């Protein structure tokens, strides 16, 4: 082992490059656990907020982590300064989807250039951890070569590289980071893997399995987990459509039993709308892109992608039929899931657009995502100030996201209420239509 490696027995000082929806929470979690963290972003606003220990994104529990981190978290626009002051650099920068389904590495390569240039000036071992989602082969094919080229140093000797993604759902990020089901560690070498393990030992509230592997398998495993979950969602949604045609059928009863089987498991197995958000849809497409490129057919991912929007089209169709021409409909729930303002690929927004295209008067409401939805939907929709105001006087209501407050509203007897997630009873909404429930129930 070379001397530089011996000197770095454990990581104490960490730079986090990218202070967005994931990176800011990673930074807050590490600082709250005693690491010295310096955040880096190209956005001056995010840097200023983090430097003031102010959460730069809306995420439950994040501000509390920052409050616990006095003296241990700072932020800068200067990546060089941050790398020189740290033992490890975590990359949590965007990897936006390209039109063909692959991920663009432009932000990640920029960050690697900056880190690499700083490493050229730095003595001693440094750990680089990639957390952003990439296609299998991206780290060894492009990111590590860029770091080596800019630093003039060798991966596995002068610096270590680990692909170490997180499995999080917005609205639940703090908990997901502290209590993961497992930790994926795709490392260039043993030293790098051990240093990452040391970080997790100080952060985690549980002792989940650490899955050690090479980098390419870790890249694929990240995509495989997410695409398997999307397949489960699609399976439950297909069952829901079948149940609707089946006299006495009820998808909730069937999926409850299905989920008890330990080979299957209950999570994400509930008939409702399709999946949305910044990860699931694009991870599924990225796996498809990779499979096609390699000539390895992946029809399950193909079908998952092709049918994901069917439930939204179905509920929009039923709502149009129920209210007739010129009818008034409220869509409640515009974020892609509860507890987040994110509307990216949101099924609620999609339903609202379909209803509007059919000529209906559409009022929308969401407790957190109204501004984001306004940017997505534009004029032509009515934006309600509250859920009560949204449903008042409407012929039909679509519950597109299961925010708890929607289960407490006073629905009128004559309103048709399309409950996409099974949160209401007929006593609460006499005009209830639960998706996935067949005739006679």
Residues 155/5, Cβ–Cβ less than 8 Å:
no
Closer to ligand NAD by Cβ: residue 146 or 241: 146
Closer to ligand NAD by Cβ: residue 112 or 331: 112
Question: With binding defined as CB under 6 A, does residue 339 bind ligand NAD?
Answer: no
Q: How many CA atoms lie within 13 A of 166 on its CB side?
A: 26
Q: Taking Cα atoms as reference points, which of 155, 171, 172 lies closest to residue 163?
A: 155
Question: With binding defined as CB under 6 A, does residue 220 bind ligand NAD?
Answer: no
Burial of 58-67, coded b for 16+ CB within 10 Å and e otherwise, reads bbbbbeebbe
Question: With binding defined as CB under 6 A, does residue 39 bind ligand NAD?
Answer: no
String marking each residue 146-175 x if it binds ligand NAD according to CB under 6 A? -------------------xx-x-x-----
Token pair recorded at residue 321: 């039929």
279 is catalytic: yes
- What does R_g of the chain's alpha carbons equal in angstroms? 24
Restricting to residues 104-133, which ones interact with ligand NAD according to CB under 6 A?
107, 110-111, 132-133
The correct pick among 4, 12, 13, 42 for binding ligand NAD (CB under 6 A) is: 42
The correct pick among 130, 229, 279, 329 for binding ligand NAD (CB under 6 A) is: 279
The correct pick among 5, 11, 14, 23 for binding ligand NAD (CB under 6 A) is: 23
The correct pick among 15, 21, 272, 403 for binding ligand NAD (CB under 6 A) is: 21
* Residues binding ligand NAD: number (CB under 6 A): 28
Helix 280-294 vs helix 299-307: angle between axes, to the nearest 10 degrees? 140
Restricting to residues 86-105, which ones interact with ligand NAD according to CB under 6 A?
92-95
Residues 400/364, Cβ–Cβ less than 8 Å:
no
CA angle centred on 360, ends 377 and 441, rounded to 5° = 105
Residue 381 CB, nearest approach to ligand NAD (Å): 26
Q: How far is CA 239 from CA 45, 58, 368, 430, 437, in A?
A: 46, 35, 31, 25, 10
Closer to ligand NAD by Cβ: residue 29 or 387: 29
- Burial label for 247, CB within 10 Å (0-12, 13-18, 19+), is exposed
Question: Under the rule (CB under 6 A), what is the footprint of ligand NAD?
Answer: 17-23, 40-43, 46, 79, 92-95, 107, 110-111, 132-133, 165-166, 168, 170, 278-279
Catalytic positions are 279
């Amino acid at each position: 082992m070379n001397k530089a490696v011996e000197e770095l027995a454990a990581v104490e000082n960490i730079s986090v490059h990218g202070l967005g929806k994931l990176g800011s929470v990673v930074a807050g979690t590490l600082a709250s656990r005693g690491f010295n963290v310096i955040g880096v972003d190209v956005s001056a606003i995010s840097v200023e907020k983090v430097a003031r220990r102010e959460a730069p994104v809306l995420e439950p529990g994040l501000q509390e982590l920052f409050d616990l981190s006095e003296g241990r978290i700072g932020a800068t626009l200067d990546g060089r300064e941050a790398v020189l002051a740290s033992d490890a650099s975590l990359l949590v920068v965007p990897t936006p989807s390209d039109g063909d389904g692959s991920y663009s590495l432009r932000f990640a390569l920029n960050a690697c250039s900056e880190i690499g240039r700083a490493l050229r000036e730095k003595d001693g071992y440094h750990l680089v951890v990639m957390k952003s989602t990439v296609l299998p082969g991206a780290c060894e094919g492009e990111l590590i070569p860029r770091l080596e080229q800019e630093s003039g140093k060798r991966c596995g000797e002068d610096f270590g590289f680990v692909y170490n993604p997180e499995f999080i759902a917005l609205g639940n990020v703090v908990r997901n980071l502290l209590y993961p089901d497992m930790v994926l560690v795709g490392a260039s070498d043993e030293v790098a893997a051990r240093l990452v393990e040391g970080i997790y030992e100080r952060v985690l509230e549980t002792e989940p399995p650490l899955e050690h592997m090479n980098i390419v398998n870790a890249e694929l495993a990240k995509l495989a987990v997410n695409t398997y979950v999307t397949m489960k969602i699609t399976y439950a949604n297909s069952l829901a459509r079948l149940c609707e045609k089946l006299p006495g059928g009820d998808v909730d009863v069937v999926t409850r039993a299905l989920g008890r089987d330990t080979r299957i498991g209950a999570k994400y197995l509930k008939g409702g709308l399709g999946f949305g958000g910044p990860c699931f849809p694009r991870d599924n497409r990225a796996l498809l892109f990779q499979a096609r490129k390699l000539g390895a057919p992946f029809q399950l991912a193909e079908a998952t992608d092709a049918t994901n929007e069917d439930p939204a089209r179905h509920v929009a169709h039923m709502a149009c039929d129920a209210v007739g021409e010129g009818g008034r409909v409220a869509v409640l729930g515009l974020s892609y899931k509860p507890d987040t303002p994110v509307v990216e690929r949101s099924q609620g927004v999609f339903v609202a657009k379909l209803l509007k295209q059919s000529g209906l008067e559409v009022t929308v409401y969401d407790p957190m995502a109204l501004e984001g939805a306004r940017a997505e939907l534009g004029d032509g929709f009515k934006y309600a100030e509250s859920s009560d105001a949204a449903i008042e006087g409407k012929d039909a209501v679509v519950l597109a996201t299961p925010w708890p407050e929607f289960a407490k509203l006073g629905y009128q007897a004559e309103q048709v209420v399309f409950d996409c997630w099974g949160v209401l009873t007929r006593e609460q909404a006499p005009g209830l239509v639960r998706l996935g429930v067949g005739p006679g129930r």
